[in-house]
Structure 1
Amino acid sequence: MGFLSRSKGSILLVEDSTLTRFYSRRLLENNGYEVAEAASGEEALVKIRERLDPFDLVIIDINLPGIDGLTTIEKIKATPHYRHVPVMILTVEAKISTVKQAIQVGAIEYLCKPFSSEQLLQRVERLIGRSENPRDILERMLRLEINRAKRGNSKFSLVLAQRTAAGRFNTASVKRILQKKLREIDEVLMLDDNLLALVLPLTDKEGAATVIKKLQEWVAEKGWRFGLAVYPENGGNGKELFGYAQTAISES
């Protein structure tokens, strides 16, 4: 999410108007954001598939050639690692029905055309401008999974993977390996230079232990310690689960 570029955040701008794309991209880049463009929903989905790390924000027009913006949002939200990425729609009509549809498929913000530079920057700033602490993102993920587990009377696991010695792979590289190897519903988050968090829905202690064993095989080097917490037996909220997993690392 922009680690290499040190930008304020990475944005995918999906807009069929060349003029609007040019204006918006220049404005956002001049204010410290990394911007990729797409002129259609199909092109946006290709760029999402090709990118190693998720964009921090997707800005998308509702009226697009080919598949429309609402359908594109649905497909984006069904893409691995994009469940928690904010989506903002651009629309020439602020009908309540249109905004409701967009929210139902996964958007959380909208901006009416024509818009001013201040309006665009304010909304982007609100969504990603202030770099969110990865632990806050994890807390939000855990809260979401707890709600899902309660509704489905199911379990999920939190795995913390801590790098304790230098090796062939740094933490960011291991994150990319995991994103390719794990299931589409699993989430991998880099908490700091030496700590990864894996959120594994519908996974009990035995299943999470299998994931840890596979991770050791994929990385094939020593210098990693693991902590595991399972909802609900190891904690009823995100703080308790994280604390339990941290303690498990220190005892491993």
Structure 2
Amino acid sequence: MQDRKLAILVVEDHPFQLIAIQMHLNRMGFYHLTPALDADEARQACQRRTGPFDLFLCDINLPGTNGVALLEELAKSGRIQHAVLLSYQGEDELQTLEKHLQDIGLPVLACLSKPLDQAMLLRALDRESA
């Protein structure tokens, strides 16, 4: 899934972090990015798009909701194919959350610690291909 033509919905409520994530993804060769600062912007982006996003890259902590609830909503409505969630939580907590989300059938490739690590993201994208 490391196809650099992936359509990626990036949701991060801190504007500077959103820009930093987009720049990081651009340096990795991903250019088909749709940024959103909150759940409403993410929903609007999904409504404007004719098909699902290949990847949903989202901060877990969002104002008014959380990334897990938004992931569940967008996955159930067929708006996203795969997801990677980001947080400042510890690795053990993130691994537990990742397993739980996968066990309940959500399309989570990984729950990763911030700041976004290129190697860890690429490994997560490889999981889908395996």
TM-score (norm 2): 0.76
| 2:10 alignment partner, SS class | strand
Structural RMSD (CA): 2.6
Q: What are the residue-to-residue correspondences of 1:162-241 with 2, within 5 Å?
A: none
CA deviations 1:114-137 (Å, max 9, x no partner) are: 34xxx2x224433547xx6xxx9x
Question: 1 or 2 for the larger relative contact order (CA 8 Å, sep ≥6)?
Answer: 2
Contact 1:58 1:88 in 2 (8 A): yes
Contact 2:109 2:124 in 1 (8 A): no
CA deviations 1:163-204 (Å, max 9, x no partner) are: xxxxxxxxxxxxxxxxxxxxxxxxxxxxxxxxxxxxxxxxxx
Partner of 1:89: 85
Q: What are the residue-to-residue correspondences of 1:61-76 with 2, within 5 Å?
A: 61-76=59-74
| Greater share of residues in strand | 2
Partner of 2:15: 18
Take 2:124 and 2:54, find their aligned partners in 1: how far apart are those partners? 9
| 1:88 alignment partner, SS class | strand
Unaligned runs of 5+ in 2: none
| 1:111 alignment partner, SS class | strand
Query: Moved runs in structure 1, 4+ residues, more than 3 A?
Result: 96-105, 126-129
Unaligned runs of 5+ in 1: 1-5, 137-252
Take 1:20 and 1:90, find their aligned partners in 2: how far apart are those partners? 11
Instruction: Identify if the C-alpha distance between structure 1 residues 123 and 51 changes in structure 2 by more than 3 Å, giving closer, same or farther.
Output: farther
Partner of 2:110: 109
Partner of 2:119: 122
Residue in structure 1 matching 2:77, options 79, 97, 102: 79
Shift of 1:32: 1.9
Q: Which of structures 1 and 2 has the bigger CA Rg?
A: 1
Take 1:60 and 1:102, find their aligned partners in 2: how far apart are those partners? 14
- Between the two proteins, the alignment pairs up a number of residues equal to 120
TM-score (norm 1): 0.42
Shift of 1:46: 1.6
Shift of 1:53: 2.6
